[in-house]
Protein backbone atom coordinates (compact mmCIF):
# COMPACT_ATOMS: atom_id res chain seq x y z
CA UNK A 1 0.00 0.00 0.00
CA UNK A 2 1.26 3.46 -0.91
CA UNK A 3 1.47 5.71 2.14
CA UNK A 4 1.13 9.44 1.49
CA UNK A 5 2.62 11.83 4.03
CA UNK A 6 1.37 15.41 3.94
CA UNK A 7 3.11 18.38 5.50
CA UNK A 8 2.61 20.54 7.34
CA UNK A 9 -0.43 19.27 9.23
CA UNK A 10 -1.62 22.87 9.67
CA UNK A 11 -0.71 26.00 7.76
CA UNK A 12 -1.64 29.37 9.27
CA UNK A 13 -1.74 32.13 6.68
CA UNK A 14 -3.51 35.37 5.87
CA UNK A 15 -5.71 36.07 2.83
CA UNK A 16 -3.57 37.08 -0.12
CA UNK A 17 -0.58 35.00 1.00
CA UNK A 18 0.88 32.08 -0.93
CA UNK A 19 0.28 28.54 0.36
CA UNK A 20 2.63 25.65 -0.37
CA UNK A 21 1.48 22.15 0.61
CA UNK A 22 3.60 19.03 0.34
CA UNK A 23 2.77 15.37 -0.26
CA UNK A 24 5.40 12.62 -0.19
CA UNK A 25 4.70 9.06 -1.37
CA UNK A 26 6.27 5.94 0.15
CA UNK A 27 6.99 4.66 -3.37
CA UNK A 28 7.05 5.98 -6.93
CA UNK A 29 3.54 6.93 -8.08
CA UNK A 30 4.73 8.51 -11.34
CA UNK A 31 2.34 11.41 -11.98
CA UNK A 32 -0.75 9.58 -10.71
CA UNK A 33 -1.46 11.94 -7.85
CA UNK A 34 -4.41 14.22 -7.21
CA UNK A 35 -5.37 16.96 -4.78
CA UNK A 36 -8.75 17.57 -3.17
CA UNK A 37 -10.20 20.42 -1.12
CA UNK A 38 -12.71 19.76 1.63
CA UNK A 39 -14.67 22.48 3.36
CA UNK A 40 -16.55 21.75 6.62
CA UNK A 41 -19.70 19.72 6.05
CA UNK A 42 -18.97 19.23 2.35
CA UNK A 43 -17.69 16.40 0.19
CA UNK A 44 -14.12 16.56 -1.09
CA UNK A 45 -13.72 18.44 -4.37
CA UNK A 46 -11.15 17.52 -6.99
CA UNK A 47 -8.69 20.35 -7.63
CA UNK A 48 -5.76 18.73 -9.47
CA UNK A 49 -5.39 15.36 -11.17
CA UNK A 50 -2.31 13.59 -12.45
CA UNK A 51 -0.02 15.94 -10.53
CA UNK A 52 -0.50 19.13 -12.51
CA UNK A 53 -3.83 19.19 -14.35
CA UNK A 54 -6.51 21.49 -13.00
CA UNK A 55 -9.97 19.94 -12.83
CA UNK A 56 -12.90 21.59 -14.56
CA UNK A 57 -13.83 24.94 -13.06
CA UNK A 58 -10.84 25.18 -10.71
CA UNK A 59 -9.31 28.69 -10.56
CA UNK A 60 -5.83 29.29 -11.94
CA UNK A 61 -4.48 30.24 -8.50
CA UNK A 62 -4.35 26.49 -7.77
CA UNK A 63 -1.40 24.65 -9.30
CA UNK A 64 0.23 21.28 -8.78
CA UNK A 65 3.69 19.99 -9.49
CA UNK A 66 5.95 17.02 -8.91
CA UNK A 67 6.42 13.43 -9.98
CA UNK A 68 7.71 10.20 -8.50
CA UNK A 69 7.50 10.63 -4.74
CA UNK A 70 7.41 14.38 -4.10
CA UNK A 71 4.48 16.63 -4.95
CA UNK A 72 3.39 20.17 -4.21
CA UNK A 73 0.08 22.02 -4.29
CA UNK A 74 0.45 25.79 -4.51
CA UNK A 75 -2.27 28.37 -3.95
CA UNK A 76 -0.78 31.57 -5.30
CA UNK A 77 -2.93 34.04 -3.36
CA UNK A 78 -5.35 32.78 -0.72
CA UNK A 79 -9.00 33.76 -1.03
CA UNK A 80 -11.34 33.52 2.00
CA UNK A 81 -13.01 30.41 0.55
CA UNK A 82 -9.65 28.59 0.29
CA UNK A 83 -9.35 28.05 4.04
CA UNK A 84 -10.12 24.34 4.22
CA UNK A 85 -8.48 20.92 4.45
CA UNK A 86 -6.50 19.59 1.49
CA UNK A 87 -5.84 15.92 0.74
CA UNK A 88 -3.53 14.26 -1.75
CA UNK A 89 -4.49 10.87 -3.25
CA UNK A 90 -2.70 8.36 -5.47
CA UNK A 91 -4.19 6.17 -8.19
CA UNK A 92 -1.19 4.21 -9.44
CA UNK A 93 -2.35 1.05 -7.70
CA UNK A 94 -4.96 -0.47 -5.42
CA UNK A 95 -5.91 0.43 -2.81
CA UNK A 96 -6.26 4.06 -3.71
CA UNK A 97 -4.92 5.96 -0.71
CA UNK A 98 -5.20 9.47 0.68
CA UNK A 99 -2.86 11.49 2.84
CA UNK A 100 -3.99 12.62 6.27
CA UNK A 101 -4.55 16.17 5.09
CA UNK A 102 -3.24 19.69 5.57
CA UNK A 103 -5.50 22.22 7.22
CA UNK A 104 -5.09 25.76 5.88
CA UNK A 105 -6.36 28.12 8.54
CA UNK A 106 -6.68 31.87 8.85
CA UNK A 107 -3.81 33.43 10.78
CA UNK B 1 -24.40 14.57 -10.47
CA UNK B 2 -24.69 11.62 -8.10
CA UNK B 3 -27.08 11.24 -5.17
CA UNK B 4 -26.65 8.63 -2.44
CA UNK B 5 -29.30 7.08 -0.24
CA UNK B 6 -29.71 4.23 2.19
CA UNK B 7 -27.58 5.28 5.14
CA UNK B 8 -28.95 4.47 8.58
CA UNK B 9 -28.23 3.44 12.15
CA UNK B 10 -27.59 -0.32 12.28
CA UNK B 11 -26.47 -2.73 14.97
CA UNK B 12 -23.08 -4.48 14.80
CA UNK B 13 -23.39 -7.56 12.60
CA UNK B 14 -26.25 -6.04 10.63
CA UNK B 15 -26.60 -5.27 6.94
CA UNK B 16 -27.33 -2.22 4.83
CA UNK B 17 -27.61 -1.48 1.10
CA UNK B 18 -26.52 1.89 -0.21
CA UNK B 19 -27.73 3.24 -3.54
CA UNK B 20 -26.46 5.97 -5.82
CA UNK B 21 -28.46 7.57 -8.63
CA UNK B 22 -26.34 9.13 -11.36
CA UNK B 23 -27.38 11.71 -13.93
CA UNK B 24 -25.88 14.20 -16.34
CA UNK B 25 -23.14 11.97 -17.71
CA UNK B 26 -22.93 8.66 -19.63
CA UNK B 27 -22.96 6.35 -16.62
CA UNK B 28 -22.01 3.22 -18.57
CA UNK B 29 -18.83 4.91 -19.84
CA UNK B 30 -17.28 5.40 -16.40
CA UNK B 31 -15.78 3.45 -13.56
CA UNK B 32 -17.59 4.21 -10.29
CA UNK B 33 -16.49 4.06 -6.67
CA UNK B 34 -17.53 4.25 -3.05
CA UNK B 35 -15.35 6.33 -0.74
CA UNK B 36 -16.00 6.69 2.98
CA UNK B 37 -14.93 9.14 5.61
CA UNK B 38 -15.09 8.34 9.32
CA UNK B 39 -15.75 11.23 11.72
CA UNK B 40 -12.67 13.45 11.98
CA UNK B 41 -10.65 11.29 9.59
CA UNK B 42 -9.47 11.50 6.00
CA UNK B 43 -11.28 9.79 3.12
CA UNK B 44 -10.82 6.07 2.44
CA UNK B 45 -11.41 4.46 -0.95
CA UNK B 46 -13.64 1.46 -0.25
CA UNK B 47 -14.38 -0.13 -3.63
CA UNK B 48 -14.56 0.52 -7.33
CA UNK B 49 -16.23 -1.14 -10.31
CA UNK B 50 -15.46 -1.14 -14.02
CA UNK B 51 -17.83 0.36 -16.61
CA UNK B 52 -19.47 -2.97 -17.42
CA UNK B 53 -19.17 -4.44 -13.93
CA UNK B 54 -16.61 -7.03 -15.04
CA UNK B 55 -13.91 -5.89 -12.58
CA UNK B 56 -14.19 -4.84 -8.97
CA UNK B 57 -11.69 -3.94 -6.26
CA UNK B 58 -12.14 -3.79 -2.49
CA UNK B 59 -10.29 -2.35 0.47
CA UNK B 60 -8.87 -5.27 2.47
CA UNK B 61 -10.91 -4.42 5.55
CA UNK B 62 -14.23 -4.77 3.68
CA UNK B 63 -13.42 -7.61 1.26
CA UNK B 64 -15.81 -10.51 1.85
CA UNK B 65 -18.31 -8.29 3.69
CA UNK B 66 -19.13 -5.58 1.11
CA UNK B 67 -20.25 -6.00 -2.50
CA UNK B 68 -20.24 -3.24 -5.09
CA UNK B 69 -22.53 -3.54 -8.10
CA UNK B 70 -24.14 -1.41 -10.76
CA UNK B 71 -27.20 -1.34 -13.02
CA UNK B 72 -26.28 0.56 -16.16
CA UNK B 73 -29.85 0.44 -17.47
CA UNK B 74 -30.92 2.44 -14.40
CA UNK B 75 -27.79 4.60 -14.00
CA UNK B 76 -27.39 3.24 -10.51
CA UNK B 77 -24.56 2.12 -8.24
CA UNK B 78 -24.95 -0.01 -5.13
CA UNK B 79 -22.99 -1.09 -2.07
CA UNK B 80 -24.26 -4.10 -0.14
CA UNK B 81 -22.72 -4.05 3.33
CA UNK B 82 -22.93 -7.15 5.55
CA UNK B 83 -21.44 -8.03 8.94
CA UNK B 84 -21.13 -4.35 9.76
CA UNK B 85 -18.70 -3.30 12.47
CA UNK B 86 -18.31 -0.14 14.53
CA UNK B 87 -15.31 0.90 12.46
CA UNK B 88 -17.51 0.98 9.34
CA UNK B 89 -19.21 4.06 10.78
CA UNK B 90 -18.68 6.85 8.25
CA UNK B 91 -20.17 9.07 5.60
CA UNK B 92 -20.24 7.05 2.39
CA UNK B 93 -19.76 8.93 -0.88
CA UNK B 94 -20.63 7.77 -4.36
CA UNK B 95 -17.85 8.93 -6.68
CA UNK B 96 -17.58 9.05 -10.47
CA UNK B 97 -14.28 7.53 -11.49
CA UNK B 98 -12.14 4.58 -10.53
CA UNK B 99 -9.10 6.53 -9.42
CA UNK B 100 -9.81 10.17 -10.08
CA UNK B 101 -12.86 11.29 -8.14
CA UNK B 102 -14.15 14.13 -10.25
CA UNK B 103 -17.80 14.02 -9.15
CA UNK B 104 -18.87 13.33 -5.56
CA UNK B 105 -22.29 13.08 -4.00
CA UNK B 106 -23.27 14.75 -0.74
CA UNK B 107 -22.81 11.46 1.12
CA UNK B 108 -25.02 9.19 3.18
CA UNK B 109 -24.30 8.45 6.84
CA UNK B 110 -23.86 4.92 8.14
CA UNK B 111 -23.68 4.50 11.91
CA UNK B 112 -22.94 1.09 13.39
CA UNK B 113 -23.80 1.01 17.06
CA UNK B 114 -25.81 -0.96 19.58
pLDDT at B22: 98
| B19 in Cβ contact with B93 (< 8 Å) | no
d(CA B20, CA B12): 23
Give the number of beta-carbon pairs within 8 Å between A and B: 48
Split at pLDDT 50, 70, 90, the class of B32 is: very high
Q: Which of B96, B99, B102, B109 to mutate to test the interface with A (most CBs of A within 10 A)?
A: B99
Q: What is the mean pLDDT of residues B69-96?
A: 98
Split at pLDDT 50, 70, 90, the class of A79 is: very high
What SS3 string covers A65-96? EEECCEEEEEECCCCHHHCCEEEEEECCCCCC
Burial of B34 (0-12, 13-18, 19+ CB in 10 A): buried
Which residue in the set A44, A97, A101 is minimally distant from B104, CB to CB?
A44
d(CA B46, CA A14): 36
d(CA A6, CA A14): 21
Kindly determine whether residue B101 and residue A98, on different chains, have CB atoms separated by under 8 Å. Answer: no
Split at pLDDT 50, 70, 90, the class of B100 is: very high
pLDDT at A103: 98
Kindly determine whether residue B44 and residue A98, on different chains, have CB atoms separated by under 8 Å. Answer: yes
A79: nearest Cα among A39, A30, A29: A39
Q: What is the mean pLDDT of residues B60-68?
A: 98
pLDDT digits (tens, 9 = 90+) for A86-106: 999 999 999 999 999 999 999
Residues of chain A found within 8 Å of residue B106, distances taken between Cβ atoms: 43
Shortest Cα distance, chain A CAs vs residue B65, angstroms: 16
Residue A95, preceding peptide bond in cis (omega within 30° of 0): yes
Split at pLDDT 50, 70, 90, the class of B110 is: very high
| B90 in Cβ contact with B37 (< 8 Å) | yes
Closest chain B residue to the Cα of A93, Cα to Cα: B99
Split at pLDDT 50, 70, 90, the class of A53 is: very high
Apex CA B91: angle with CA A95 and CA B37, to 5°? 40
pLDDT digits (tens, 9 = 90+) for A6-52: 999 999 999 999 999 999 999 999 999 999 999 999 999 999 999 99
Amino acid sequence: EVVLTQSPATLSLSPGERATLSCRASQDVSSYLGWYQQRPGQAPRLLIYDASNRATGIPARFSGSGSGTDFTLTISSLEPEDFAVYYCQQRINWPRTFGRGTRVEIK
Amino acid sequence: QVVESGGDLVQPGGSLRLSCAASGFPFNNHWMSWVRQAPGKGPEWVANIKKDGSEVNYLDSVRGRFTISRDNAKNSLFLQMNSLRADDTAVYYCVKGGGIGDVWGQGTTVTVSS
